[in-house]
Amino acid sequence: GSTLEIRDLHVAVGDKEILRGVNLTVKAGETHAIMGPNGSGKSTLAYAIAGHPKYTITGGQVLLDGADLLEMTVDERARAGLFLAMQYPVEVPGVSVSNFLRTAVTSVRGEAPKLRQFAKDLKTGMDALSIDAAFAQRNLNEGFSGGEKKRHEILQLELLKPKIAVLDETDSGLDVDALRVVSEGINRFRSSGETGVLLITHYTRILRYVKPDFVHVFAAGRIVEQGGPELADKLEAEGYEAYTKASA
């Protein structure tokens, strides 16, 4: 199975250092939750791994099966088996969901899927996520509700079958039904045991449905505590106050 290794990662935005030495290893078959207060750098970790140009790597390494992700273009990262779902996906007028997904699958596999097979896989994926057929023809991310964005994110997972998935979840904008559908999607996807999942979240709510194997607490740009799923329960009961005080 695959391994994502983050070693002593330091990341700055402008001249402000935001990540201050993050160490984390995610293996296929494992689900890791990163939790932490707002502003602790959780999304910065996702953007840095994604290769967003605003985020400058000032130190450390990110390796996928030993290959240096930070040296790769965004496309190369996807082809290497990395999937990143962003908190604020961009709207792309004139590009339908269906076109976008077929292009993404083509890019990751290095060849275009046969139209008929793709249409079939797309329908299976959409049915499993209770997505209406008309959704495939809508413009990418245009006017998507929170629930539609999340379903689309999980649909991408099912079609792209990445080795490592990084999901930056707001949990906001998801009603209980949508949360359940999305969680079931993540659970279905990870049940193969062939994918490692890094689930970034401020709230513990989604972790009631997607049980993590490991929980890491982020504060002020570093991991300040690690544990098993019981750590999420503790955070739900006690909040982040202890960590924000300690790292201030």
Q: Which positions touch ligand ADP (CB under 6 A)?
A: 13, 18, 36, 38-44, 54
> Is the four-CA dihedral 165, 110, 68, 54 of positive or negative sign?
negative
Q: How far apart are the first and last CA of the chain?
A: 39
35 or 154, CB closer to Mg ion?
A: 35
CA distance 39 to 199: 17
Pairing of strands 92-96, 55-64: unpaired
43 binds Mg ion (CB under 5 A): yes
Closest CB 13 distance from Mg ion, rounded Å: 13
40 or 156, CB closer to ligand ADP?
A: 40
Closest CB 167 distance from ligand ADP, rounded Å: 13
37 or 81, CB closer to ligand ADP?
A: 37
Q: 235 near 207, Cβ under 8 Å? A: no
- Those residues with Cβ within 8 angstroms of residue 228's Cβ, 6 or more apart along the chain or in another chain: 213, 214, 215
Among Mg ion, ligand ADP, none, what binds residue 21 when CB lies within 5 to 8 Å by partner kind? Mg ion
42 or 150, CB closer to Mg ion?
A: 42
73 or 88, CB closer to Mg ion?
A: 88
201 binds Mg ion (CB under 5 A): no
Please identify, among the stretches 20-28, 126-134, 158-166, 229-237, the one whose residues bind Mg ion according to the rule CB under 5 A: 20-28
Q: 77 near 50, Cβ under 8 Å? A: yes
Closest CB 203 distance from Mg ion, rounded Å: 11
43 or 156, CB closer to Mg ion?
A: 43
Closest CB 47 distance from ligand ADP, rounded Å: 7
Helix, strand or coil for residue 100? Answer: helix
Helix, strand or coil for residue 122? Answer: helix
21 binds Mg ion (CB under 5 A): yes
Helix (H) or strand (E) holding 52: none
Tokens of 123: 């329908």
CA distance 87 to 70: 21
Closest CB 202 distance from ligand ADP, rounded Å: 7
CA distance 112 to 139: 21
In this structure, what are the phi and psi dihedrals at residue 138, rounded to the nearest 5 degrees? -75, 160
Please identify, among the stretches 4-12, 188-196, 214-222, 238-246, the one whose residues bind Mg ion according to the rule CB under 5 A: 4-12
Among ligand ADP, Mg ion, none, what binds residue 36 when CB lies within 5 to 8 Å by partner kind? ligand ADP
Among Mg ion, ligand ADP, none, what binds residue 18 when CB lies within 5 to 8 Å by partner kind? ligand ADP
In this structure, what are the phi and psi dihedrals at residue 243, rounded to the nearest 5 degrees? -80, -40
For binding to Mg ion (CB under 5 A), which residues are involved?
Answer: 8, 21, 42-43
